[in-house]
Chains A and B, each alone.
Chain A
């Protein structure tokens, strides 16, 4: 495990912040419709001249902000789960959130087909939290090892996935076309309403998580050492699991199943600044945010007017890179 010096951390953070700002600005200019820079500036600052108020103010701006928030939150959630399970291959998917949310959404469509589609995020968040709660219960009652916890999470996830496949295979596809798009991790049709519903919570939870970085370091040392250093490991683990669950479930509820960010972003961050969470968490957050903003903007620009879901682009371009990282540095990955 490398421990980066403070100077290195500061430079990395500065660099990433600049990159994030640059990517964010670029994302405002990328899309199915070409808009000159002058028009973008006119629209953003309400100056005189040609404007594109819907596309910039109501579509791209909230989408990119939402991508930024959810990307950062998913990355944080992934970093927590990886620290708790002491395994760099873990991700929010391990605590069943994606599968639980997907099952919740599809079940609602089958059981209450008349429900307004605006409820979809609420249902998704409930599904994800329920699945995670089931895992909590097992962890709490059986006081199981991290490895066992991971397996229980995988099993609950797979059970939900089996039910999702069952529903998909036996229902009429055109009726579930909206949840199907959501399941690919798409920011299509996301706007200020979605952003306003989640950003205060996500920012708050992220702040709490950053305050917890020291405890995450202790927990990574192992239960015995952490306890000897005066930490109530059991309680801290539950609090951290709850944080990871809420961060991921809220993100998934608005942007759909964006599976790979929580796995990749912390891993990339670890390669940059090492495993100490004081540095790892903010770096992972920025990396995750950049990933999703780029994926979303590229998804609407690449094959316009077709929309490619952000979840597909993060998987398509992120996964090979991730495998390369893991293979090229196995000793690091074993950390």
Chain B
């Protein structure tokens, strides 16, 4: 894996071509697929009618939402990896996704006792899980050990999932709801949800861009960063806020989606090197491309029944994660 300052082994032109191709193909794939096979890309040019409604009211908001989710998750992963200086940091590994799932499950099971929006349950769950993982891996004591962080995340994630699975023993109807909520599902996204994602993605992106140089210094080590005038504690605090906001926004709209936050920054580093000023926009675009493909696959893989985008993303990301843990040099 490329380190900061190192440029990528892949020529820039090829990288840019790859990225552009991936984005365009992904967009077309995601737009062209859906519940109706009689509606295709050609219908974009129709002035009105059912096909146009399907494309503009159903598929386009969903495609945009998939892309924005990729942006949010990729950036959240990039920022988390920069501030923890840990290439494995990402919401799924740190138990944050599973915490969000637990929050959602509680929200579904206890709707009558506490009447709060499900989003709030998800955010509370995610936040609690993140803090607990951080705490039991010794993060508040100062030094964060990479392996401890991951093992802590696995323990928190396992606990959350044990509780989520409790709902599976209740009514099939409740179990169905919980599974829908906790696997990352965007089948019923409309423009209003897409807007909510965009509202978080844009400032999150700008903030990461502004802080890119700070992240670069962070990679040099805390002491060097301080020597160069960037207090790492401030970077850590700001970075945590940005990552939490980005990951939180996607969890509340789509539920937890695993692995996108982990693999996208690694791919970006592979293609474009380690400079965060370049990495920030390219990670965003790569994230979008990945999730567009995942969305297209989610609609076609088990057609006519949809597979939620979250599990498709997980199936795409998990083997890569496995390959990475076996062969990459920077993980232990």
Do A and B interact with each other, yes or no? yes
Residue positions of A touching B, CB distance < 8 A: 87, 89-91, 93-94, 98, 138, 142, 144-145, 147-148, 150-152, 154-159, 161-163, 165-166, 168-170, 173-174, 177, 180-181, 183-186, 257, 259-260, 263, 307-309, 311-312, 315-316, 319, 323, 326-327, 330, 334
B residues contacting the other copy or chain, number (CB 8 A): 53
Taken together as a complex, chains A and B put the C-alpha atoms of A154 and B146 apart, in Å, by: 14
Taken together as a complex, chains A and B put the C-alpha atoms of A112 and B162 apart, in Å, by: 26
Taken together as a complex, chains A and B put the C-alpha atoms of A109 and B40 apart, in Å, by: 36
Residues of A within 8 A of B138 (CB): 330, 334
B155 near A159 with CB under 8 A, answer no
B contact face: mostly helix, strand, loop, or mixed:
helix
B172 near A166 with CB under 8 A, answer no
Taken together as a complex, chains A and B put the C-alpha atoms of A308 and B137 apart, in Å, by: 30
Q: Does B109 count as interface, using CB distance less than 8 angstroms?
A: no
A151 near B315 with CB under 8 A, answer no
Q: Does B305 count as interface, using CB distance less than 8 angstroms?
A: yes
The winner among B179, B317, B324 for most chain A CB atoms within 10 A is: B179
A168 near B154 with CB under 8 A, answer no
CB nearest neighbor in A for B152: A89
Q: Taking A91-B155, A330-B138 as contacts, is the C-beta distance between A147 and B162 under 8 angstroms?
A: no
Residues of A within 8 A of B227 (CB): none
Taken together as a complex, chains A and B put the C-alpha atoms of A118 and B47 apart, in Å, by: 60
Q: Does B75 count as interface, using CB distance less than 8 angstroms?
A: no
Q: Taking A156-B322, A174-B172 as contacts, is the C-beta distance between A257 and B162 under 8 angstroms?
A: yes
A158 near B162 with CB under 8 A, answer no
Q: How far is the CB of B182 from chain A (nearest CB, A)?
A: 8
Residues of B within 8 A of A156 (CB): 322
Q: Does B68 count as interface, using CB distance less than 8 angstroms?
A: no
Residue positions of B touching A, CB distance < 8 A: 88, 92-93, 132, 135-138, 141, 146-148, 150-152, 154-155, 158-159, 162-163, 165-166, 168-169, 172, 175-176, 179-180, 183, 185, 258-259, 302, 305, 307-308, 310-312, 314-315, 317-319, 321-322, 324-326, 331-332
A263 near B169 with CB under 8 A, answer no
A contact face: mostly helix, strand, loop, or mixed:
helix
Taken together as a complex, chains A and B put the C-alpha atoms of A174 and B307 apart, in Å, by: 18
Which of A87, A93, A168, A316 contacts B163 (CB under 8 A)?
Answer: A316
The winner among A91, A162, A181 for most chain B CB atoms within 10 A is: A162
Which of B136, B154, B155, B162 contacts A311 (CB under 8 A)?
Answer: B162
Residues of A within 8 A of B155 (CB): 89, 91, 263
